[in-house]
Homo-oligomer: A and B are copies of this chain.
Amino acid sequence: MTRRSRSNDAPTEAQRKIVEAAVSAFAEHGFHGTATRDIARRAGVAEATIFKYFPSKRDLLLGVLGPALEQLVGSALARSMEPLFSVTYPSFEAFLRALLAERVAFVRAHPRLVRILAQELPFDAELRAGIVSRVIAPFLTKGLAQIEQFQREGQIVGWPPPLVLRCIMSTFAGYILHRVFIAPDEAWPDEAEVERVITFLVRGLSPERPA
């Protein structure tokens, strides 16, 4: 009844359940801390079924992260970030606001994937290389260019662009990790908080006071 006629296109029902189960399990116990048997149980399939679709446990990890990252970061780059950096922002503040909104949306949509990614990155050179080249490098390139643009326009202080970008990203990361992982249940009337975070950055990075 459930449609799945396409040979190479549509993922099976089981396949989807496996991925979902793997995401939960990895997020809860980490990659090494999760047994394939547990994933199978959660997914309601036999263990062997997992290996039908993912030749190894590691392929399951990649299969969980990869497509999601392509779909999310890839499309985030395509849909959100590309415009982010291609649009001429009226002001540094507007840029920050857009960047924060997009980052928040991403992490809120896939908090478990972010957690898994963060946990496995330090131990997985291949994963790291992939992420760096496919996500971080493009982001850095464009982000730094944008920073330089604002510097040329005299909107922000003339510090080295990587430092400026790091200040921005650290502040955003602190905000996002807090909201998503530490205090996810708190009410989110946080326009005020966003305003303050933006204000903090705008002030902190404002150009040297001209006499």
Contacts and interface: CB of A to CB of B under 8 A. Distances in A.
A90 B159 CA distance: 27
Contacts of A155: none
A35 B178 CA distance: 33
Contact of A170 (B32, B122, B159, B171): B171
Count of chain copies: 4
A122 B173 CA distance: 17
A174 B178 contact: no
Interface of A: 28-30, 32-33, 115, 119, 122-123, 159, 163, 166-167, 169-171, 173-175, 178, 193, 196-197, 199-201, 203-206
Contact of A119 (B122, B170, B174): B122
Contacts of A171: 167, 170-171, 174
20 contacts: A28-B123, A30-B30, A30-B122, A30-B123, A32-B32, A32-B33, A115-B122, A119-B119, A119-B123, A163-B193, A167-B171, A167-B174, A167-B197, A167-B200, A171-B174, A199-B204, A200-B204, A201-B204, A203-B203, A203-B204
